[in-house]
A and B are shown apart, each in its own frame.
With several copies, the nearest count.
Chain A
C-alpha cells in the first residue's frame, strides 16, 4: 500500500507542519499532489476531511445509522512510519485544495460539509472531456439526463463514469459559461438533465 505513494510519503517530517515558510509551501503542494493522485488511483471522487476516500452514499448510510462514519484508512496517517498529520495542518491543506479549485465541499450550497469532491483533473478539463463525449456519442442538441451522462452505458470507459451528480453539474459550469450547455431542473429545482449545443 505505502509503495503506491511517492517516496516523500515515507519522509517523517512531511507530517509535521514545517516552520520554514518556503518549505511549508512546498510541503502543502506535495500533500495536494499526493491527495489528487491517491483519489485518482482509487477511482474515488470523494475524500473526508480526515483523509479517507469514500463512496458518498456509504457515508450517508453510516451517518444515518450510527451517527458517525466508521474509522477508515486515512491518507494522513502513515502507520509504516508512525506519523500522522495533525488536524490543524489538515485544515491548512484543505483550505489550499479548495482555494486552488481542486476540491469543493460536497455540500455545495453551505460549504459546511467535512467531505470534499476531489478534482484530480481540473474543471475545465472535465468540461472538455464531457463535451467530447457529447460529440462522440452524437448527443449534441439532445436532452440527456445527468444520470445517463454519469452512469449510462455510453459513458462506460470514460473517465467521468460514476462521477457524483453534484460534481458533474459543477463540471458543466465552463460549458454553461460559454453558452454551450443548458440545464433542466425538476419541480424541486434539482438539475436532472442537460442539453449541449
Chain B
C-alpha cells in the first residue's frame, strides 16, 4: 500500500479511505519518526522516552505539515497498534498512572538509574540542574516533562526524598528511611 515511492516516510491521508489502513500507516511513520528522531538518545543514553503529548506536537510539526495533521486520537490508536504491527522497539507506557509515554525497553528504569546517580553525586539538585546534567550534550526541552515524571516515580517508590525550598524542590537520595 505504501510503496509507490521509496522510501516514503510521509503518509498522505487522502489516499486512504479505510481508517484502519490509515492508522497502520501512520503507526509505521510515527514509529520510524520517533526512532530516527531519538537515535542519538538511544545511542548515548541507551533509551528513549517521550510523552505522547510532546511526540504529538513534534511529529505533526516535522512530518505532517502539508499532508494533514493527525488527530490526538489517531496518534494514540496508532501507537497502541505498534505491537500488533511488529514494531517492538518502542512501547506505550503510563508513568505514575497519569502520563502516557512512548519508551524503549526498560527506559523508565534506565532513566531512573541515571537520575538517581546524578542526585547521589549532587545531593540537593533541582529539576533544572538535573535536566542540565542529563542533557549535557543536547538541550532538548521535551525531556523536562519526562524527568518530572521520573522524579515523581522515584518519590512514590521511596528512592528519593524532597527538600522543599523557595529555590524549588531539591532532591536527595533516601538514605535514612526504609522503603
Contact = CB atoms under 8 A, between A and B. Distances in A.
- A–B: direct contact at CB < 8 Å: yes
B139 to A, nearest CB: 12
B162 A30 contact: no
A177 interface: no
Chain B interface size, under 10 / 10 to 19 / 20 to 34 / 35 or more: 20 to 34
Interface stretch (B51-59, B80-88, B92-100, B171-179): B171-179
Interface stretch (B7-15, B66-74, B120-128): B120-128
B176 A11 contact: yes
Contact of A12 (B126, B128, B172): B172
B158 A20 contact: yes
Interface in A4-56: 7-8, 11-16, 18-23, 25-27, 30
B125 to A, nearest CB: 10
Contacts of B158: 20, 22-23
Interface residues of A, number: 19
B163 A13 contact: yes
Interface of B: 124, 126-129, 155-156, 158, 161-168, 170, 172, 174-179
Contact of A21 (B128, B162, B175): B128
Contact of A20 (B155, B172, B176): B155
Contacts of B176: 7-8, 11, 14, 26, 30
Contacts of A8: 175-176
Contact of A11 (B127, B175, B178): B175
B128 A25 contact: yes
B174 A23 contact: yes
Contact of B177 (A7, A19, A27, A83): A27
Given A22-B127, A22-B168, A12 B163 contact: yes
Contacts of A16: 161-164
Contact of B124 (A12, A14, A25): A12
A86 to B, nearest CB: 9
A103 B56 CA distance: 38
Given A21-B167, A22-B128, A13 B156 contact: no
Most buried by B among A15, A20, A21: A20
B156 A20 contact: yes
A15 B172 CA distance: 12
Given A20-B166, A23-B177, 14 more contacts: A8-B175, A11-B175, A12-B124, A12-B172, A13-B172, A13-B174, A15-B163, A18-B161, A20-B155, A20-B156, A22-B126, A22-B168, A30-B176, A30-B177
19 contacts: A8-B175, A12-B124, A12-B172, A13-B163, A14-B176, A15-B163, A16-B161, A16-B162, A16-B163, A16-B164, A19-B155, A19-B166, A19-B167, A20-B156, A20-B158, A20-B166, A20-B168, A22-B168, A26-B176
